């Protein structure tokens, strides 16, 4: 009973003084009516609030159903536990479509065995030609803007992106592009449903909430909004933001030799410049020296080499520079152009990288080479006429190198291209919206 009701019930008492035997029953009856009425009013108020809450809940469920929302999870790990059960069955089909958007997949591939299994079974093979698997990762340059927000060391996320590409290639997955923008939402989608995991500004996404949504026949659905604007349109690259990459293993220091887990590099061509990342590594690190190998009957400049003059080992040093080879005048003029990127090499771990952007078109160059900054460390092997242009004949080879084929094939095969009609949404043909 409220204080106002009690005040009203006692008003007669305070105004008339003490109650006699005849006025007491009437006052008690009045108090009883006020008490009952107050309790009913309080009950009705609570009931009205509960009815409103139930109506709001029903409205929320209806809206969730219309938008295709199936479930909300506190973290990505919790959501993946459920979603991977579905994916494991889905990729067993003869025809499947799997689309992934994220900054890096390294952690998921290495730490979640089921996720790796799903990727391997989702890729297109000769025996499964109707499967599609497309991966859209963050361009490594733009990952630097995320590192500070997540309290990560400089270059950490970029290294994870490159390692993700290596892991995907090991599984035979090459339909990968790199998007010029900081990550906003992790996505895994099929032609039936998807997992969404937004990126907060200063917290890692895998610790943040996730949604699982299903495909519904509405252009306003969550599924349609994200499959169109977070995957399909970026992948189609109408704005020039989703770039293909090229990947190369470096040969050396002996011709025909490729060190185990040894030096490699990536190239991402943009409109007016290209991004290059060369990694100097090995097992457990880049060796300090490599035994020189001389093939049977090997000749240099047409002459038999003097055995006493051939060094037994090739020292590599611990300061390196990456150079790009330009060839002019039908090979008679060859110029090495130093790549001006950020350079780092840890002499104790024997690992490092040279990474950055370079103006121009990568296809203008004929070779990429890694040299020692100290001219003392030169490769005793020389360019041979059978592979080198005239301008390089007899000159020392780089410590590590790769000739660039012309014309080069794209890292993304023609079979990996996405249908312009977006078969996963046949009833909502995106081309009709243009």
Among 226, 218, 1, 192, which Cα is nearest to 98's?
192
Give the mean pLDDT of 336-353.
93
> Are residue 218 and residue 87 in the same domain, yes or no?
yes
> Are residue 59 and residue 82 in the same domain, yes or no?
no
Place 419 in a pLDDT band, splitting at 50, 70 and 90.
very low
In a domain, residue 409? The reply is no
Which residue range is the domain that position 286 belongs to? 259-403
Place 424 in a pLDDT band, splitting at 50, 70 and 90.
very low
**Domains held by the chain: number:** 3
> Are residue 38 and residue 128 in the same domain, yes or no?
no
Place 27 in a pLDDT band, splitting at 50, 70 and 90.
low
User: What ranges in 10-139 are assigned the alpha helix state H?
Assistant: 11-16, 24-67, 76-90, 106-111, 113-122
> Are residue 39 and residue 162 in the same domain, yes or no?
no
Helices (H) and strands (E) in the chain, counts: 10, 19
Q: What is the value of pTM for the model shown?
A: 0.80
In a domain, residue 254? The reply is no
**What per-residue confidence (pLDDT) applies to 175?**
95
In a domain, residue 415? The reply is no
What lies within 8 Å, CB to CB, of 19 at 6+ separation is 13, 27
Handedness of CA 257, 263, 264, 270 (dihedral sign): negative
Place 254 in a pLDDT band, splitting at 50, 70 and 90.
very high
In a domain, residue 117? The reply is yes
Choose between 47 and 374: higher pLDDT.
374
> Are residue 229 and residue 87 in the same domain, yes or no?
yes
**What per-residue confidence (pLDDT) applies to 20?**
55
Give the mean pLDDT of 377-382.
94
User: What ranges in 148-221 are assigned the alpha helix state H?
Assistant: 156-170
Give the mean pLDDT of 21-41.
67
Question: Omega into 284 within 30° of 0, i.e. cis?
Answer: yes
Handedness of CA 11, 15, 19, 23 (dihedral sign): negative
The DSSP bridge partners found for residue 338 are: 323
Model pLDDT for residues 147-159, shown as the tens digit of each residue: 777 777 888 999 9
**Cα–Cα dist 386/407, whole Å:** 19
The DSSP bridge partners found for residue 291 are: 313
The DSSP bridge partners found for residue 336 are: 325
pLDDT reading at 413 higher than 50 = no
Q: CATH number of the domain at 86, please.
A: 3.30.870
- CA-to-CA dists, residue 116 to 91, 112, 125, 172, 386, angstroms: 12, 7, 16, 12, 43
> Are residue 362 and residue 426 in the same domain, yes or no?
no
> Are residue 331 and residue 389 in the same domain, yes or no?
yes
> Are residue 206 and residue 85 in the same domain, yes or no?
yes
**What per-residue confidence (pLDDT) applies to 51?**
83
């Amino acid at each position: 009973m409220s204080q106002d009701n009690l005040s009203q019930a006692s008003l007669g008492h305070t105004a008339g003084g003490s109650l006699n035997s005849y006025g007491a029953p009437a006052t008690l009856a009045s108090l009883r009516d006020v008490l009952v009425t107050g309790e009913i009013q309080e009950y009705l108020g609570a009931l009205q609030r509960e009815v409103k809450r139930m109506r709001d809940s029903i409205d929320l469920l209806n809206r969730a159903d219309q938008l295709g929302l199936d479930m909300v999870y506190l973290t990505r790990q919790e959501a993946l536990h459920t979603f991977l059960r579905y994916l494991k069955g889905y990729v067993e089909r003869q025809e499947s479509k799997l689309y992934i958007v994220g900054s890096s997949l390294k952690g998921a591939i290495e730490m979640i065995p089921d996720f790796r299994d799903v990727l391997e079974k989702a890729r297109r093979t000769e025996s499964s030609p109707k499967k599609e698997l497309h991966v859209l990762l963050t361009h490594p340059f733009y990952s630097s803007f995320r590192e500070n927000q997540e309290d990560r060391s400089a270059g950490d996320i970029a290294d994870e992106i490159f390692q993700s590409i290596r892991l995907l290639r090991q599984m035979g997955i090459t339909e990968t592009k790199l998007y010029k923008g900081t990550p906003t939402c992790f996505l895994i989608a099929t032609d039936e449903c998807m997992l969404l995991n937004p990126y907060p500004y200063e917290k890692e996404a895998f610790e943040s909430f996730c949604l699982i949504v299903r495909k519904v026949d509405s252009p306003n659905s969550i599924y349609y909004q994200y499959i169109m604007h977070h995957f399909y349109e970026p992948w189609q690259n109408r704005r020039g933001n989703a770039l293909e990459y090229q990947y190369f293993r470096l040969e050396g220091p002996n011709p025909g030799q490729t060190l185990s887990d040894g030096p490699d590099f990536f190239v991402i061509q943009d409109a007016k410049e290209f991004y290059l990342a060369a990694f100097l590594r090995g097992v457990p690190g880049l060796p300090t020296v490599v035994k020189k190998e001389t093939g049977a009957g090997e000749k240099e400049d047409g002459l038999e080499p003097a055995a006493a003059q051939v060094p037994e080992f090739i020292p590599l040093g611990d300061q390196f520079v990456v150079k790009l080879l330009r060839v002019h005048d039908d090979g008679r003029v060859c110029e090495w152009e130093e790549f001006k990127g950020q350079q780092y090499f840890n002499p104790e771990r024997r690992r490092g990288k040279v990474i950055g952007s370079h103006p121009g078109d990568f296809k203008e160059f004929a070779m990429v080479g890694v040299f020692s900054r100290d001219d003392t460390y030169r490769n005793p092997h020389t360019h041979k006429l059978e592979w080198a242009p005239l301008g390089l004949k007899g000159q020392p080879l780089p410590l590590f190198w790769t000739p660039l084929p012309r014309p080069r094939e794209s890292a993304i095969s023609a079979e990996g291209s996405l249908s312009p009609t977006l078969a996963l949404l046949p009833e909502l043909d995106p081309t009709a919206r243009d």
